[in-house]
Amino acid sequence: MQCEYCSNAIPAGSTKCPSCGAPVNAAALAAEAAVPAAQPAAPQVIFVNNNTPQNNVQIPPKSKTTAALLAFFLGALGIHNFYLGYTVRGVIQLILSLTFFGLFISGPWALIEFILILVGSLKDVHGRNLV
């Protein structure tokens, strides 16, 4: 808390300012007591391998260039989705590409995702931008 007269810090529980001797405003003292102390942030938990929580796991960001090349050359197979961590989406695209009519769906789908990667709209499975 700060003194309203000299703006110096007043230690908690004091009734007078140690610098100028001014009395502490009772309303300000009550308001400070009602505000809880800031809690330290909990460590970020990222689930890796079988959804097991591990603290402080650093997963490197995915490459935008690699994702774009995979989407361009192997996009109909969904390989770029596996690279970005979207396993279900990759499996669906892979199964579609194995059928003749599915290529008409997974081909344009891959082209759209290739463009999204280039403009930076597509993120990895953890919601991080590609670098």
Mean pLDDT per segment of 10 residues, for the chain of length 131 residues? 73 76 71 60 54 63 95 95 95 93 92 96 91 91
Give burial (CB, 10 Å; 0-12/13-18/19+) of 103.
Answer: middle
**pLDDT for 43:** 55
